[in-house]
Amino acid sequence: MKTPKGFFTYFHHAEVLEMLSDEQAGRLYKALMRYGNTGEEADFGSDSALDVVFALFKKEIDYKFERYAEICEMRSEAGKKSAKVRKEKAQKESAEPHRLEIYTAAESAKMRFPENEY
């Protein structure tokens, strides 16, 4: 699965983070970074508050990573489809002989100035 280079934290997370001590928030942040980079689950020991908050963030990270992979796949398919259409169009244009049309001076003038009758 293709993974993004990072993840967002939202302002509504601040309310939960404010309930943690600075030490807990730091441990949580490091654990989230580790999880995002390697998929390694955090072990906070007996700190159940961090376990709960980590589980909430983990679920959000997983969803965002899955969505990112889906978007990458959709864009890849769209690019392949576009390339195929461009290739077919180029082949069609190169297969058609170029036709040189020759007009008389009067026909040429009539095309350029259709309001004038000659």
Query: 0.85 cut: is pTM over it?
Result: no
AA identity, residue 70: E
Q: Give the CA-trace dihedral at 44, 46, 48, 50, to 10 degrees.
A: -30
AA identity, residue 30: K
* Residue boundaries of the structural domains of the chain: 11-112
Q: What is the pLDDT along the chain (118 residues), one digit of tens a residue?
A: 567 787 778 888 899 999 999 999 999 999 999 999 888 999 898 999 999 999 999 999 999 889 998 999 999 999 999 999 998 888 887 777 767 778 888 888 777 777 766 5
d(CA 90, CA 95): 9
